């Protein structure tokens, strides 16, 4: 998320809320009201691009929030792209609040490359759950809710208000979700002082806390040159000029990659360079 004129601290974190998602029996996964079964229900909702089912996801999440006893708010800055905000008022609502953020959407899944169907949320005998979005990042959203559910049951009352937000379109830039949300009057009224968001997966019992965010920079290189017939060799072609730039970029990328592989700097502190596509052609009046 990016802020406006308001002060807040952004912290990217891995899964900090340890919850009883485990268990190795298939029977446990079939129980109607366990953290695992609720997680599986969420995973079975197809929220992958290019056609994420936000309506079904929002309906499920709102029902869970209401069952926990949270206040619910559904915002729609862009049609059919809801932003969900669930709130637990604190003892002193005037204090800056805590916001736990996550996203509902996921990247596409190629079913033929999966051991189990990517939206089956199958749990194997070892307790592993297979589903698109299970790590990025439906597990985090469900852990937020399950943690608040457990705290509610223990009669805990937070000092400051806690909000949980579920945003759309994070995987494609967040322009219609998070960007519009943080620029809205509704976000300002949350009085956010501290945010937790997703981080790297934590396969062990150690959890790394990230206190910075990597920013993407999109760079477009346009190269021009003399056009000519494909049967001839000639100097100064557009592709020849482009290759010179690509060679410089490739050397820089190799240098960054070598530092990361050698362990001189963490992978999160090097500059990732990844060319996406190349287009070529000869401009014509038509």
Active-site residue numbers? 105, 170
Taking the C-alpha atoms of residue 241 and residue 222, their distance in angstroms, rounded to an integer, is 10
Taking the C-alpha atoms of residue 139 and residue 154, their distance in angstroms, rounded to an integer, is 22
Residue with tokens 């040159």: 225
Which contacts of 177-180 are long-range, i.e. CB under 8 A and separated by 24 or more positions? 177/77, 177/78, 177/81, 177/83, 177/103, 178/1, 178/2, 178/101, 178/103, 179/2, 180/77, 180/78, 180/83
Cis peptide before 137 (omega within 30 of 0): yes
Cite the annotated binding site by residue number. 103, 136, 171, 198
- Tokens coding 244: 């010179």
Q: Using the 8-state DSSP alphabet, how is residue 18 labeled?
A: -
Q: How many CB atoms lie within 10 A of CB 186?
A: 13
Cite the annotated binding site for Zn(2+) by residue number. 103, 136, 171, 198
Contact between 218 and 272 (Cβ < 8 Å) = no
State the Cα torsion 181-182-188-193 to the nearest 10°: 130
Distance of CA 229 to the CA centre of its chain: 47
- Tokens coding 43: 């995973």
């Amino acid at each position: 998320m990016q802020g406006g004129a308001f002060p807040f601290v952004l912290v990217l974190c891995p899964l900090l809320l340890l919850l009883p998602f485990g268990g190795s029996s298939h029977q446990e996964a079939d129980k109607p009201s366990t953290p695992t079964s609720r997680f599986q229900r969420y995973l079975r909702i197809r929220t992958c691009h290019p056609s994420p089912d936000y309506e079904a996801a929002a309906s499920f999440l709102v029902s869970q929030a209401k069952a926990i006893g949270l206040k619910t708010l559904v915002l729609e800055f862009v049609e059919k792209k809801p932003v969900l905000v669930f709130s637990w008022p604190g003892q002193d609502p005037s204090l800056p609040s805590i916001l736990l953020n996550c996203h509902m959407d996921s990247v596409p899944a190629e079913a033929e490359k999966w051991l189990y169907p990517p939206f089956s949320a199958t749990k194997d005998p070892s307790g592993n759950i297979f589903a698109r979005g299970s790590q990025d990042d439906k597990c985090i959203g469900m852990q937020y809710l399950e943690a608040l559910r457990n705290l509610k049951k223990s009669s805990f009352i937070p000092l400051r208000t806690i909000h949980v937000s579920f945003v759309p379109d994070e995987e494609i830039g967040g322009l219609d979700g998070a960007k519009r949300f943080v620029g809205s009057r509704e976000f300002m009224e949350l009085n956010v002082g501290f945010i937790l968001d997703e981080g790297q997966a934590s396969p062990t019992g150690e959890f790394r806390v990230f206190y910075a965010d990597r920013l993407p920079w999109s760079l477009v290189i346009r190269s021009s040159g003399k056009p000519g017939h494909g049967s001839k060799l000639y100097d100064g072609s557009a592709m020849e000029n482009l290759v010179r730039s690509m060679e410089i970029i490739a050397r820089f990328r190799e240098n960054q990659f070598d530092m990361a592989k050698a362990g001189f700097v963490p992978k999160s502190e090097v500059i990732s360079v990844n060319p996406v596509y190349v287009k070529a052609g000869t401009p014509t009046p038509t």
